[in-house]
Chains A and B, each alone.
Chain A
């Protein structure tokens, strides 16, 4: 368990250091995720303690956004003036993005599946 926590923290820390060192416009944990991913590719499998720790964290992922969400209280004045436009934009744009991405990925993956299947049948 502790090994898994250490592994997650080391990846994050190295990610942060890379971001600062190379002056990248990306968050450290995202680079940390890439490092962890590469590490798993090299290692070849997911150690059980790491799997448990990751599952424990990811099952509670939504909770982790509550503190930042409460930050809405610091912008109530600005949101009060422009809230109709902002809400309209957020809701419609988010729904369009979900629709376009989901629909496109479903269609394209179906096409890939047909191609792969066609190639297999042709053999």
Chain B
């Protein structure tokens, strides 16, 4: 019997199915818990799922590479999902046309604040030069952030992690903060979520309705563009 269990485990742990199933199932359970408890920030489903899976992988001595062989099928869908953001945005085209100046001004301002504040605060904390570069584009979507950091001589894989953590922080605490500040306009709420915490903020903004989701997607896209252009420029000027 024990032998059977062991051979089953050997088979499963090398097949992509196991880690794909973990990824989807733990997320479904985490989301159920999140809903049941009334959406508390600390129970953000991505955060909980990541903690559970990292604990499980460390405990079973499984490498990230082995995990990713299964998880890549989920990861791959990020591309088509990004393309799909064009649809809610298209639905809100009349609102985009109504506020062109306000949108561009808020996005450029938010982008600068996100980059500069991250670097200044990290510098106060005396982190290494590579960490400093890697943290600068933390608010933009992973692939662009990694590209910019590589160009500037930072650590792209560290950036990927910092970007995700930023997304979790924004998705978890953003709605609470916007509430406190009495930001009630769904255009402004979505824009803030997508700008500061990219796809994860956008994923959270989906719960705020179609308008917020569309503007979160817009802010995510435009902030990636603004940061990719301005960060290398600012870095060479000031650092």
Binding site for B on A (CB under 8 A): 5, 8-9, 11-12, 15, 25-30, 32-37, 39-41, 46, 50-51, 53-54, 57-75, 78-79, 82, 84-86, 88-106, 108-112, 116
Contacts and interface: CB of A to CB of B under 8 A. Distances in A.
A101 B98 contact: no
Closest 9 CB pairs of A and B: A85-B125, A101-B110, A102-B192, A108-B102, A67-B71, A36-B86, A29-B82, A27-B143, A62-B203
Contacts of A61: 81, 199, 202-203, 206
26 contacts: A25-B228, A33-B82, A33-B84, A34-B221, A36-B84, A57-B84, A65-B78, A66-B50, A67-B23, A67-B74, A69-B164, A70-B53, A70-B68, A71-B160, A72-B50, A75-B157, A90-B165, A93-B139, A94-B197, A96-B117, A101-B110, A103-B183, A106-B184, A108-B101, A108-B106, A111-B102
A116 B114 CA distance: 31
Interface in B153-187: 157-158, 160-162, 164-171, 173-174, 177-178, 181, 183-185, 187
B148 interface: yes
Contacts of B177: 95, 98-99
Contact of B87 (A32, A54, A110): A54
Contacts of A96: 113-114, 117
Interface string B94-138: 000011011101110110011001100110111110010001001
A48 to B, nearest CB: 11
